[in-house]
Amino acid sequence: MDYLKIFAPATVANVSCGFDSLGFAVDSVGDEMTFTKTKEKGVKITVITGADLTFDIDKNAASAVVKKILNDANANFGISLTIHKGFSPGSGLGSSAASAAGAAFGTNQLLGNPFTELELTKFAMFGEEVACGTPIADNVSAAIFGGFVLVRSYKPLEIIKLPVPSALRVVAIHPQIEVKTKDAREVLPKEIALKDAVTQWANVGGLISGLHSSDYNLISNSLVDIIVEPARKNLIPFFDKVKESAMAAGALGAGISGSGPTIFALCKGDEIAKNVYKSIKKSYSNTGINFELFISEINQEGIKILSTQPTK
């Protein structure tokens, strides 16, 4: 294989109660990337569209990952890379993670798939470190594995893929404002009460159990975050208004995607998802803040191959 075009999905991390440990992939929003083998070793970015990202090989999350994998594999070829961002950096939907995970996946394909999904996650975490300063795994693992994932351990890294109930849908609104991850981290509590920790642990357990058993009531009851969301929601204008409108329209639960500002709502079935979409749109239309809104199935496949032949 000398050429590859892929779709790298947006992802929702934390999923209310699962701070830094739960995530899932989205089906309708993501990046498109192409990888072309070159005789000259190394990596170069030829095109970036959809966002103002650096062409610096060592500072761009995607190219940094490609470079590291090619070096580790002692590859006898190079890669020319193009990136089309399908959603905005800083959205809370794993923008750098899509680039990093897509880069790991695509490079592995051109190498003949020598690396496992877990190994690709580690490479993609390096891309997250380049982009954000921290090698976090929740977004990149969701993009690579697909569906819902649990980051059970970092040392050693252990990713558990969770089942996805067939009727589960996500509605998400991205207010066109910026919430810096650094600011979102700084507002987090340094200490939490034991009783709050117990409640949060129980909700994570309940959510995972609900996913395994397709128990939508249990999923709904467990989509509660009493630690991170109360600290961060003030960074997102009209957060409570959006959440209330989603719940009133029948959402199972709603919360902050990643560090925000995107707000997600999980729903059972297409009809409820459409109602939640309409309700959120109505609630935000008079705020004076531009926004993007989408509805999607959960992407159970993760990164997808779109083509292995360049367009002529």
The length of the chain, given as a count of residues: 312
Sheet arrangement for strand 291-297: 253-256, 263-268, 168-175, 291-297
- Angstrom distance (rounded) from CA 194 to CA 185: 21
26 DSSP β-pair partners: 298
* 78-84 and 42-49 beta bridge pairing: parallel
- CA atoms in the 13 A half-sphere facing the CB of 165: 23
From the list 128, 178, 229, 297, the catalytic residue is 128
User: Residues 65, 66, 71, CA angle at the centre, nearest 5°?
Assistant: 100
- Angstrom distance (rounded) from CA 126 to CA 66: 10
From the list 34, 121, 181, 262, the catalytic residue is 181
128 is catalytic: yes
Known catalytic residues are: 128, 181
